Amino acid sequence: MILQDERKLPVRSPLITVGGVKVKLECVQPTGSIKDRIATYILDESERLGLLRKGMRIVEATSGNTGIALAYHGTRKGYPVTIVMPEHMTDERKATILSLGAELVLCSKEGGFLEAAAIRDEMASTLPGIFNPDQFANPLNAEAHRIGTGAELIEQAGHPFDAFVAGVGTGGTL
């Protein structure tokens, strides 16, 4: 698939059947995960609402995929991006975030995500011009899937589902 227009991100992903189970292939998104959907939706809606404006810096705490998606979509839109994550995350995730032009702030393995979120919150409260997407508490995270991924999934299937199975974390994965 060749993306002709970056303004049409995220892309519509295929729905296939494997062993009688419907599977949505979110790996076709620009950063290879479903987190492209929440990153674009949160950034677009936050711009529309005036919460994210030119000249601001995006700062988020993450274990990787959301940070990668925010680094890609944030820098693509012209925003500097800082990702805060525990130091024990994979070297590949760290390298990917840096290669996308984002700054990386590492916290201790022991402090984990609570420390990463605390650093993000401190930056947001003490530095000027910070936009904190706060994926852990932002209702736009789940809304991206309610109006985007979920609607697309039902339309592609052509019928309602009998059951739906998914993991739950921040609400940013459907």
Burial per residue of 143-154, b for 16 or more beta-carbon CB atoms within 10 angstroms, e otherwise = ebbeebbeebbe
Catalytic hit among 22, 35, 54, 109: 35
This prediction's pTM: 0.90
Which residues constitute the domain of residue 148? Answer: 6-157
68: domain CATH number is 3.40.50.1100
**92 inside domain:** yes
pLDDT tens digit at each of 174 positions of the chain: 445 556 567 889 999 999 988 888 999 999 999 999 999 999 999 999 999 999 999 999 998 899 999 999 999 999 999 999 999 999 999 999 999 999 999 999 999 999 999 999 999 999 999 999 999 899 999 899 889 988 999 999 998 888 877 777 665 665
Burial of 138 (0-12, 13-18, 19+ CB in 10 A): buried
Q: Is 22 a known active-site residue? A: no
